[in-house]
Amino acid sequence: MSLRLSVIGTGYLGAVHAAAMAELGHTVVALDVDETKIAELAAGRAPFYEPGLPELLTSALASGRLTFTTDYALASDADVHFVCVGTPQRPGENAADMRYVDSSFEELARHLQGPTLVVGKSTVPVGTASRLEQMLRSKAPGGDQVSLAWNPEFLREGFAVKDTLHPDRLVYGVHPGERGARAKALLDQVYAATIADGTPVVVTDYATAELVKVSANSFLATKISFINAMSEVCEAAGADVVALAEAIGHDDRIGAKFLGAGIGFGGGCLPKDIRAFMARAGELGADQALTFLREVDAINMRRRSRMVDLAREQCDDSFIGKRVAVLGAAFKPDSDDVRDSPALSVAAQVRLQGAHVTVHDPQAIANARRRWPDLDYADSALEAMQGAHVVLHLTEWQEYRDLDPAVAGQVVATRRIIDGRNKLDVHRWTDAGWTLRALGRPTAVAHQA
């Protein structure tokens, strides 16, 4: 059954969700206060890089089921309203900044008409849904006819379209009793095609639903920092963290995913989510439960410093007068997102210590320039490597793995590369005369003819 949906917020989450819901057959009005962003999306242009989204936008717009607007009134008669605005880290604090969520709910409340369901998808501190439900019921005209559900998102950048159309689970946080039953029934209609494909549905209370996303991200962050802690031990012991990860990953209680040692995680979710989780736990008096996340965060940040130290060692212990090539600016491949990017953090630290740094990325250069205008940028990997005394591989784009080490060796000043993601073929590079370092692995020295 086709429903009328509104999507409030057309950032990364909202734009993908709106286009995907239209693809599933619903009529969708997507709303944002940013007129430029709305104009771009209405023309079928995604304001960020996400594989598959341009095609999804084009299809949804052509069907007539998707429209974009800045006017809340045009979204007022929707059966279901999805709130998809961001919750960045509050400046100078660990806690989440709730201004955008609160203002979106308050503005939406003024325009609600008749029986309707409001669904929060943003990642929020536990306790937010109960507070917002009270606000909706007090401020919305006919507030007793308004229901609230919390339906957290689990998008992976680079796979957001797939994760929205074919999620591995759906979580509904609903009010107990009849009101919650009505909310679940409406969400089941929204996701009817997805549920028919066999996607499991977990129905729970507000607080549990709010905790699912931050708990999942905290677990993933812990797993990444665990293998990076083992990387530190491997370096001290002369062991190989890649072989170690392979060995323990065969244990099905552990699994191989997220055991890739390197310079750690970044982006707009994991770092700010674990910090906000710690902050909220402190407010609830449960701060001792999450003290381990402080070390998870510390290990992650330490990896960046270690990469800088390795780069300095490869430059004969001084960056002064040296040229450093950085391959990667996005925090992960298949994305142009540079928020809390480990690659750019390392690049900036190396530059501050005196090196001439040139960065390349297949998709994220424009965003990187805006955030780090003092760095130099190149249009190709080989251009970035021109005259470099050391090359840093910091975002695992496939094109960097496919580089010809022999060709690359012709443009650098010194054939030295540090693999910050442990993804390069060691033998290909050493056979071409390169010395390769990697976090948590013994040095691979150029083969002698």
Which residue numbers are catalytic?
Answer: 269
> 257: exposed, middle or buried (C-beta count within 10 Å: 0-12, 13-18, 19+)?
exposed
Tell me how long the chain is: 449
Q: Which residue has the tokens 């401020």?
A: 139
Tokens at 69, concatenated: 């607007």
Burial readout 306-334 (b: 16 or more C-beta within 10 A, e: otherwise): bbbebbbebbeeebeebbbbbbbbbbbbb
**In DSSP terms, which residues pair with 377 in a beta bridge?**
359
Dist. CA 314–CA 37, nearest whole Å: 44
Return d(Cα 378, Cα 34) in angstroms, integer: 31
Closest C-alpha to 22, from 71, 72, 58, 69: 58
* Nearest in space to 264 (alpha carbons), one of 325, 306, 315, 214: 306
* Closest to 190 (Cα-Cα) out of 17, 9, 42, 15: 17
E strand spans, 121-255: 146-150, 170-174, 201-204
Euclidean distance between CA atoms 102 and 243, whole angstroms: 48
For tokens 């009010």, name the residue: 175
Distance from C-alpha of 214 to C-alpha of 165, rounded to nearest angstrom: 22
- DSSP designation for 410: T
DSSP state of 390: E
Q: Is 351 left (phi over 0), alpha (psi -120 to 50) or beta?
A: alpha
Pair of tokens at residue 7 = 């999507």
Q: Please enumerate in sequence order all residues whose Cβ is within 8 A of that of 71, keeping only pairs 6 or more positions apart, or say none.
A: 31
Q: What are phi and psi of 356, to 5 degrees?
A: -90, 115
- Residue 395: which of 449, 343, 350 has the closest Cα? 343
CA nearest to 123, candidates 187, 213, 218:
213
